[in-house]
Amino acid sequence: MINIPKGTKDVLPSQSYKWQYVENTAREVARVFNLKEIRTPVFEHTELFTRGVGDTTDVVNKEMYTFEDKGGRSVTLKPEGTAGAARLFIENGLASSPMPVKTYYITPCFRYERPQAGRLREFHQFGMEIFGAESFTQDAEVILAASSFLEKLGVRTRLEINSIGCKTCRAEYNAALRKYFAPHLDGMCPACRARFGKNPLRMLDCKEEACKKIAAAAPAITDYLCADCADHFAGLKNLLTAQGVEYTVNPRIVRGLDYYTKTVFEFVSDAIGAQGTVCGGGRYDGLLEELGASPLPAIGFAAGIERLLLLMENTSAAFPEDGKPLIYVAGLDDACRAEAFKTVCFLRSKGIAAETDHTGRSVKAQFKYADKLGVKFVAVIGGDELASGEIKIKNMSSGEQTAVKCADIYAYLTKE
C-alpha cells in the first residue's frame, strides 16, 4: 500500500462540494470587484522566489521545494502566488495595459513545513494581485474584497492592519530596530541573528518563542512612518471606517515577503488553533523593480483555503447542500434496464442529473440505493411499462406515484 505524502491531503468525493463552494464564492467576489483570473505554472525558476519572496524569509530559507530538473536547472514548486503573478505581468507586457491590472488566482502552493493543524506541505490559496495603483483607495478595495469573501462564507475573523512604510522611513526604523535588538542578540535564534544584518524587520515575524518575547517590546514601525506613508495609512483607515469595516492596528505584523511596503494586513481567527491567519496581504511597491521591471506599485492578498475550510467546519458554518441527481431510473430485468439506460441518456442530454444501475441490483436494492443518493424521484421500468410506454414516477418525499408517458418525462420533471 502506497500512502499519501506527509503534509498533503486528499479531497474525497463526499467533501469536494465544500471546496467548490469556497472556490465559487472566490470567483463571485472576483467578478464583482472586476478581477480577471490568471494561471501560472506550478514550478518556476528558483531565482524568481529567492528574489521575489526574499532570501531572509522562512519561505525561501527553509520551506521551498527546490530541485534540479533533468536539464540541470534549479526549479521550485510555487510556495506562494505573488512572485509568479508579478513575473506573468512583466513577461507578458501587461505594463502597457490601462492601469490598474486586477488579477486573481486559485492555486496549489508547496512549502516544506512541519505538518500540523492548518499547516500543510501542499495547500491552496485564493489570491488577488493588483498592479499599477498607488492610492490608498486601492488598499481599501483589496481589504474590502477579502472581507466580503470571508463574510460571504459566513466566517468571523478580526482584521489587523499595519503600515511597514517605504524605503525612506524603513531605513530609519531599521536603525531603531538594530539599536533595540543589538543587546538581545545572544538570546535569539541563528536566523534572527542573520536577519539582524540583512533585514531586521523580519525579526518581528520570527516564530521562536524566545525571539517573540524579545520582539514584543521592539519599537513600533507606526511611530517611524514618513509623512507620505502616514497619510496613506490614515487615508486607508478612514476609508475602512467609512465602509463599516472593523480593524485594529497591530504594529507587529510584517508579513512573509521581503518587498512589502506600506499597508500590510491579516484576517485572523481564534477558532483554528495556533495557525489562526486565514488571509494575509499587503502592498508590495518594490517587487516589480526587484524583478528587473520598471517600478510599479502593486497590492494583493492570499487566503488559505484549507484553513478557511477548517474554520468553517469548526464554527459550523453553513455549506450549501451537495448536488444530487434529480431522478433514479430503475429497471426490473435486462430489457427494462436497457430502457432505463436509454431514458437516463435522454434526460442527461436535456441537462437533468439522472442515475441508473450498473451493478445488477434487484429493484428493491435499486430503490434503497436511490434513497441513499437522495434523489427526488424514482422511476421504475418493468414489463408493463415496456408494453404500455408509460412509466411510474415516485416522488420520494411525498410518496405520490404518477404514471407518465415516456415522451412526457422531461416535461413532468421540469414542470415545477
Decide whether 303 or 330 has the Cβ nearer to ligand ATP: 303
> Residue with C-alpha cell 427494462?
336
Q: What are the CB-based long-range contacts (under 8 Å, 24+) for 408-412?
A: 409/343, 409/346, 409/347, 409/379, 410/346, 410/347, 410/350, 410/352
Decide whether 78 or 111 has the Cβ nearer to ligand ATP: 111
Decide whether 257 or 409 has the Cβ nearer to ligand ATP: 257
Q: Cβ 282 to ligand ATP, closest distance in Å?
A: 9
Distance CA 279, CA 295 (A): 26
Measure the CA angle with vertex 398, ends 397 and 403; round to 5°. 110
Distance CA 360, CA 358 (A): 6
Applying CB under 6 A, the residues found at the interface with ligand ATP are: 80, 111, 113, 118-120, 123, 125, 256, 275, 277-280, 302, 304, 306-307
Q: Which of 411, 403, 400, 396 lies closest to 352 in space, CA to CA? A: 411
Q: Cβ 254 to ligand ATP, closest distance in Å?
A: 9
Q: What are the CB-based long-range contacts (under 8 Å, 24+) for 192-200?
A: 194/56, 195/56, 198/55, 198/56, 199/54, 199/56, 199/174, 199/258, 200/174
Strands 327-331 and 377-381: parallel
Decide whether 65 or 341 has the Cβ nearer to ligand ATP: 65
C-alpha distance from residue 176 to each of 124, 173, 221, 239 (Å): 37, 5, 9, 30
Decide whether 123 or 259 has the Cβ nearer to ligand ATP: 123
Decide whether 54 or 118 has the Cβ nearer to ligand ATP: 118
Q: Cβ 95 to ligand ATP, closest distance in Å?
A: 25
Q: Cβ 268 to ligand ATP, closest distance in Å?
A: 9
Percent helix, percent strand, percent coil in the chain, to nearest 5 = 40, 20, 35
Q: Cβ 69 to ligand ATP, closest distance in Å?
A: 24
Q: Cβ 147 to ligand ATP, closest distance in Å?
A: 14
β-sheet bridge partners, residue 45: 75
Question: How many residues comprise the chain?
Answer: 416
Q: Cβ 3 to ligand ATP, closest distance in Å?
A: 19
Decide whether 65 or 367 has the Cβ nearer to ligand ATP: 65
On whether the CB atoms of residues 278 and 189 are closer than 8 A, the answer is no
In sequence order, the 6+-apart residues with CB closer than 8 A to the CB of 198 are 55, 56
Residue number of the CB atom closest to ligand ATP: 304
Q: Cβ 44 to ligand ATP, closest distance in Å?
A: 16
Decide whether 132 or 256 has the Cβ nearer to ligand ATP: 256
